[in-house]
A = this chain, B = another copy of it.
């Protein structure tokens, strides 16, 4: 029998997904499972998304432009202009989710065998797109002790080889909630200039910055405007993950021309969702963004209140997004997360978290860490965190 490709055979299955059967088994036995493990927001999708969609039903659901509908690209341009970031509609290509934006960013900037430096822990799906694009992700380890902020420049530069084509960042960060400071972005700017690299910047959480902070986009670094490729998405911003709409932005015309060629091969992003997205980009007022941000910030505060004083638990206050990567007083968080689903419940309820080892590329790192996504209501957050704390106590006493 002819074998499947080595590259696919060697791909890791999602580190979260392997816990899913355990969660399903728990549910089948009547246990309520609180999902702190996945970045699926619970915020309602804006009504206007649905009404715009219903108002746009065509007779023939035809292909749209490969670059995306002009009305949506213009709406995104307007969205950025509100942050005083001038982006021309032609510097934007609509992608099928932020996912495709990551793939296009790798494909347009790297050849097969090229290397991209990234900071671990990182969003695991970068691995999948790196495999698809034949790119090697070279990790620089960041540390829970300083809130996963940027490692020293010299450490980053030590990983640069003649195969390195780009540095990949995500700020606000999934899975850590870290927001890079202007100074950190400046360091990165210097490095990419010095070593002639691209800076690939995943900014899908840019509207979620806590404590009154604001986002400095890599699009606001004029000295590297030809080197920056931004990956963006409506999934989290507008709680519309299932729409599969994202976009890639660059002022580098060669990058955009290359992305368009990739875009033409796959014909177009989903047509109808673009009408909904254009409407919400155009019409949602500041209130919407403020309310959503306040919701996530309250939950972040609740997380701090519940977990920051637990013995052996360590993490710094997340600055943005809706994640925290948390060190637990356990040897193996994967085992603990499984045990929570198979062996523990409190009044018929348990909590599912994501073991953080899967977010590290270096084997053996993050074994005692978990990622929590604060995407549940405050009431559910509080319950699920109490269960987590109680589980941790019992686990320490009876298992480890």
Chain A residues near B (Cβ < 8 Å): 1-9, 11-14, 17, 40-45, 49-50, 54, 57-64, 96-97, 99-100, 103, 107-112, 114, 125, 127-129, 131-134, 165, 196-198, 226-227, 239-244, 252, 254-255, 258-259, 261-262, 264-273
Q: Indicate whether A107 sits within 8 Å of B5 (C-beta atoms), given known contacts A96-B96, A132-B132, A239-B60.
A: yes
Q: Give min CB distance, A242 to chain B, whole Å.
A: 3
Beta-carbon contact of A270 and B273 below 8 Å: yes
Beta-carbon contact of A267 and B57 below 8 Å: no
Beta-carbon contact of A109 and B40 below 8 Å: no
Q: Which of B4, B197, B266 contacts A258 (CB 8 A)?
A: B4
For A99, the chain B residues whose CB sits under 8 A away are 265-267
Beta-carbon contact of B227 and A265 below 8 Å: no
Beta-carbon contact of B61 and A264 below 8 Å: no
Residue pairs across A and B with Cβ atoms less than 8 A apart, 6 shown, are: A4-B108, A5-B110, A6-B111, A13-B264, A43-B60, A244-B271
For A271, the chain B residues whose CB sits under 8 A away are 242-244
Beta-carbon contact of B240 and A61 below 8 Å: yes
Q: Which of B63, B125, B243 contacts A270 (CB 8 A)?
A: B243
Beta-carbon contact of B13 and A261 below 8 Å: yes
Beta-carbon contact of A59 and B44 below 8 Å: yes
Q: Give min CB distance, A99 to chain B, whole Å.
A: 4
Q: Give min CB distance, A89 to chain B, whole Å.
A: 17
CA distance in complex: A125, B119 (Å): 35
Closest residue on chain B to residue A64 by CB atoms: B242
What would 10 more interface pairs be, CB under 8 Å, given A50-B57, A107-B132? A5-B165, A13-B261, A45-B61, A61-B242, A61-B243, A62-B241, A97-B267, A103-B266, A242-B271, A244-B269
For A63, the chain B residues whose CB sits under 8 A away are 40, 241-242
For A8, the chain B residues whose CB sits under 8 A away are 107-108, 258-259, 261-262
Beta-carbon contact of A62 and B40 below 8 Å: yes
CA distance in complex: A30, B372 (Å): 59
CA distance in complex: A52, B375 (Å): 29
Q: Give min CB distance, A105 to chain B, whole Å.
A: 11
For A13, the chain B residues whose CB sits under 8 A away are 261, 264
For A49, the chain B residues whose CB sits under 8 A away are 61
For A265, the chain B residues whose CB sits under 8 A away are 11, 99, 125, 127-129, 131-132
Beta-carbon contact of B2 and A196 below 8 Å: yes
CA distance in complex: A114, B268 (Å): 27
Q: Indicate whether A111 sits within 8 Å of B262 (C-beta atoms), given known contacts A60-B43, A62-B40.
A: no
Q: Indicate whether A5 sits within 8 Å of B266 (C-beta atoms), given known contacts A61-B243, A243-B271.
A: no
For A6, the chain B residues whose CB sits under 8 A away are 111
Q: Give min CB distance, A102 to chain B, whole Å.
A: 9
